[in-house]
């Protein structure tokens, strides 16, 4: 057997502890599958004395995570610090400069600096592995980058944020409002004290940028992703969705269109009958559509110490076996230059929910705006009656261009009988 693969871990929080535990508990099969033992030899974390449930004695301890890269006895650095800038970025650069492989769970780093980091890794011929950055332990990176590698992928979509999916599921199952469910999720540890990163869609957008780069073989382009979160979804929208045969999910969707690649994260109405509509709670799922393979879906736990450790250890086994794949599936010079298309060009059916004063003539005003913009309606629903007060009205459109819908939202929002800014949810039927 070859000598052990020597691993340094930067960041010993929940995930770092999980990696230590998995490498210890499953050392036998990991060594068999890696062709050699995988041993953590150096670590960096703020608190040396915290109980992590795994012994850390005998490890070389660094106060400065960036110093791990220079440790001559380290072969691979596992970066679990997080954040797209600062220490995480410095450590990644130092690791490549030292000619070593990097394994990371850091989606922000990859989404923002993925192209430059890939160039650095490629220049040194070292691996940059990030299975843990998207959908936890579900091997979606491997599936897209290797398993479907012979396909032209036309679309990739997924439930990429477990916190949002948990909140939307709870809202539906218990008929409760967003703010209440969020507060509960924070108590249960399913949502952060500052939940913005999750519920405003940023985390999902980082992951989608990574999936889109892999699916379409082009450099990662986070700044081209349209992002909306779930704050404006109300219990009344969930009830209407149910009535219309849909479920509301926060999806990340990247699709090859005739004009270029469209990449967007926002709440969607999806038919109750499609498999992704059934993925509930903290679970994640990714669907990819290839020209030869057709539609493939993967689902499982998208977060947590165990699933994330599983992905990181899989990357370490690949590195131990010298199984090498270019960061974005092909070398930088071979990547596609397909353009991105702006969200304003998106075309699809829309759900628009208004709160209007319940009195004659209101619907006529609203539908006149739609007529003027050439937007055609598939259906209209109104719930309850309370003359002179606010009632919800739902309009479902046929295929419409996003720019026209935005204009409609603005004009309708200005009508004196419309009480608040209309809520717009895109309908995804494919």
Is 143 an interacting residue with respect to its own copies (CB under 8 A)? yes
Strands 60-62 and 38-44: parallel
- Count interface residues toward its own copies (CB under 8 A): 64
Residue choice 170, 299, 340, 423 for contact with its own copies (CB under 8 A): 299
The residue ranges of DSSP E strands in 161-316, in sequence order, are 226-227, 246-257, 260-271, 283-290, 294-301
Strands 38-44 and 5-10: parallel
Is 149 an interacting residue with respect to its own copies (CB under 8 A)? yes
Is 325 an interacting residue with respect to its own copies (CB under 8 A)? yes
Give least dist CB 278 to its own copies, A. 6
Is 17 an interacting residue with respect to its own copies (CB under 8 A)? no
Give least dist CB 226 to its own copies, A. 26
- Of 232, 238, 237, nearest to 170 by C-alpha is 238
Binding to its own copies, residues 33-72 (CB under 8 A)? 33-35
Is 252 an interacting residue with respect to its own copies (CB under 8 A)? no
Is 173 an interacting residue with respect to its own copies (CB under 8 A)? no
Say whether 13 counts as a known binding-site residue. yes
| Other beta carbons within 10 Å of 176 | 16
The residue ranges of DSSP E strands in 15-121, in sequence order, are 38-44, 60-62, 76-79, 101-104
Task: Give the sign of the dihedral formed by CA 12, CA 17, CA 21, CA 23.
Answer: negative
Catalytic residue among 100, 207, 249, 401: 207
Query: At CA 78, angle to CA 286 and CA 124, rounded to 5?
Result: 95
Which of these ranges, 3-11, 62-70, 233-241, 311-319, lies near its own copies under the rule CB under 8 A? 311-319
Is 298 an interacting residue with respect to its own copies (CB under 8 A)? yes
Residue number with CB closer to its own copies (299 or 400): 299
Question: Is 207 considered catalytic here?
Answer: yes
Residue number with CB closer to its own copies (132 or 343): 132
Give least dist CB 36 to its own copies, A. 11
Say whether 17 counts as a known binding-site residue. yes
Is 97 an interacting residue with respect to its own copies (CB under 8 A)? no
Is 165 an interacting residue with respect to its own copies (CB under 8 A)? no
Following DSSP, what letter does each residue of 136-174 receive, concatenated?
TTS-HHHIIIIITTTSPEEEEEEE--HHHHHHHHHHHHH
Say whether 217 counts as a known binding-site residue. no
Task: For 330, list phi and psi in degrees, rounded to 5.
Answer: -140, 160
Give least dist CB 397 to its own copies, A. 29
Residue choice 275, 281, 339, 374 for contact with its own copies (CB under 8 A): 275
Distances (CA, A) of 377 to 132, 351, 370, 381: 43, 10, 8, 11
Is 281 an interacting residue with respect to its own copies (CB under 8 A)? no
Say whether 137 counts as a known binding-site residue. no
Residue choice 206, 249, 301, 426 for contact with its own copies (CB under 8 A): 301
The encoded tokens of residue 343 equal 């969200």
What residues have CB less than 8 Å from 127, skipping those under 6 apart?
Answer: 101, 102, 103, 121, 315, 318, 319, 324, 325
Contacting residues toward its own copies, per CB under 8 A: 18, 22-23, 25-26, 29-35, 131, 136-139, 142-143, 146-152, 217, 275, 278-279, 290-301, 304, 306-307, 309-311, 313-314, 316-318, 321-326, 329-331, 334-335
Active site amino acids:
207
């Amino acid at each position: 057997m070859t000598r052990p693969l020597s691993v340094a871990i930067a960041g010993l929080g929940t995930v770092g502890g999980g990696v230590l535990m998995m490498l210890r508990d499953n050392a036998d099969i990991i060594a068999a599958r890696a062709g050699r033992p995988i041993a953590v030899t150096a670590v960096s974390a703020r608190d040396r004395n915290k109980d992590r449930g795994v012994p850390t004695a005998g490890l070389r301890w660094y106060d400065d995570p960036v110093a791990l890269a220079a440790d001559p006895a380290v072969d691979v650095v596992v970066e679990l610090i997080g954040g797209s800038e600062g220490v995480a970025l410095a450590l990644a650069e130092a690791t490549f400069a030292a000619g070593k492989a990097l394994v990371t769970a850091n989606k922000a780093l990859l989404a923002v600096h993925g192209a430059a980091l890939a160039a650095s890794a490629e220049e040194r011929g070292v691996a940059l592995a990030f299975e843990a950055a998207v959908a936890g332990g579900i091997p979606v990176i491997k599936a897209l980058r290797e398993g479907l590698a012979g396909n032209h992928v036309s679309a990739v979509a997924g439930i990429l944020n477990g916190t949002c999916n948990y909140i939307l599921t709870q809202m539906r199952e218990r008929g409760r409002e967003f703010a209440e469910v969020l507060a509960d999720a924070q108590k249960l540890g399913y949502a952060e004290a500052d939940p913005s990163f999750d519920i405003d869609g940023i985390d999902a957008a980082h992951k989608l940028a990574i999936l889109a780069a892999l699916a379409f073989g082009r450099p990662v382009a986070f700044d081209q992703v349209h992002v909306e979160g779930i704050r404006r979804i109300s219990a009344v929208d969930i009830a209407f969705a149910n009535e219309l045969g849909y479920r509301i999910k926060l999806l990340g969707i990247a699709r090859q269109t005739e004009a270029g690649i469209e990449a967007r994260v926002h709440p969607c109405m999806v038919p109750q009958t499609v498999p992704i509509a059934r993925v509930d709670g903290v679970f994640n799922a990714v669907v990819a559509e290839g020209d030869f393979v057709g539609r493939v879906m993967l689902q499982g736990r998208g977060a947590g110490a165990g699933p994330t450790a599983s992905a990181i250890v899989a990357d370490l086994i690949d590195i131990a076996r010298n199984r090498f794949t270019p960061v974005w599936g092909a070398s930088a010079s071979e990547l596609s230059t397909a353009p991105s298309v702006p969200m304003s060009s998106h075309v699809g059916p829309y759900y628009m929910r208004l709160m209007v004063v319940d009195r004659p003539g209101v619907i006529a005003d609203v539908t006149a705006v739609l007529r003027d913009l050439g937007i055609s309606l598939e259906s209209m629903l109104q719930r309850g009656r309370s003359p002179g007060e606010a009632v919800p009205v739902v309009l479902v459109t046929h295929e419409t261009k996003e720019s026209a819908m935005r204009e409609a939202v603005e004009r309708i929002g200005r009508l004196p009988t419309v009480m608040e800014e209309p809520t717009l949810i895109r309908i995804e039927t494919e």
